[in-house]
Amino acid sequence: MAILSNFLIGFLAALVGVIPPGLLNMSAAKISMKQGRKVALLFSVGVSVTVCVQTFVALLFARYLDMHPEVVDMLQKVALGIFLCITVYFFFIAKDTRREVPKSVKKSKTNRFFYGMLLAALNLLPLPYWVYVSITFGAFGWFSFGQIELWAAVIASGLGTFFMLAVYAQFFRRKDNAPVFNFNMNYVIGLLTAIISVITLIKIINAI
């Protein structure tokens, strides 16, 4: 049961993390339009492999934190500052997402896998994201840090990431489906981090 719970949480958390238009899913969409769906899927596999590695590292750190609650208390205060900075960034500094996907897509098909791995490695947000998700669900008893359960979440994160990237690649597979959004997704991300900041602040106040 714990393995299934970890798998579902890992899969759904990965879906939620990739749904907002960003560098990875927009790149998958652009590659699909320019070079075809198969090449975009190869790129998505590369991204998913890196995401699995990032998730594994994050969960190892989260398992350590789970065994040392005194460290969690200290990190909550650090996390509050980080989330507040992220909120300010996405609301006031980040570039508007209501634009077309960048046209600078290389035409080489053979290195799409490694290009996906490299591009995903430049995105470090999955590390704190998975630490927060695992510890939060672990506090409710829905997430386990056992070795097998941990690997279930890692594999699920890769599958969830690949699934959502494949959806982008499929939806924007034709050139007349150029992905242009009329809503700035930065506001959504900023709102989410603001909510997390409030929750973290409430936890800190209650612990005093």
pLDDT in tens, 51-88: 999 999 999 988 888 787 777 667 667 767 776 777 77
CA distance 117 to 114: 5
Tell me the residue range of the domain where 165 lies.
Answer: 2-69+101-185
CA distance 157 to 12: 8
| Model confidence at 124: pLDDT above 70 | yes
Q: What is the pTM of this model?
A: 0.72
Q: What is the mean pLDDT of residues 31-41?
A: 88
Assess if residue 41 is contained within a domain.
Answer: yes
Assess if residue 202 is contained within a domain.
Answer: no
Specify the higher pLDDT residue, 142 or 56: 56
Least confident range of 5-9, 31-35, 155-159, 174-178: 174-178
Per-residue pLDDT, 186: 61
Specify the higher pLDDT residue, 33 or 8: 8
112 pLDDT tier (thresholds 50, 70, 90): confident
Assess if residue 197 is contained within a domain.
Answer: no
Number of domains making up the chain:
1
Assess if residue 85 is contained within a domain.
Answer: no
- Burial 174-193, CB ≥16 within 10 A → b, else e: eeeeebeeeebbbeebbebb
Assess if residue 128 is contained within a domain.
Answer: yes
Assess if residue 89 is contained within a domain.
Answer: no
Q: What is the mean pLDDT of the chain?
A: 79
162 pLDDT tier (thresholds 50, 70, 90): very high
Rg (CA), the chain: 18
Assess if residue 193 is contained within a domain.
Answer: no
CA distance 90 to 27: 20
Q: How confident is the model over 181-204, as pLDDT tens digits?
A: 555 556 666 676 677 678 767 766
Assess if residue 88 is contained within a domain.
Answer: no
Q: What is the mean pLDDT of residues 158-180?
A: 77
Per-residue pLDDT, 148: 94
CA distance 76 to 53: 24
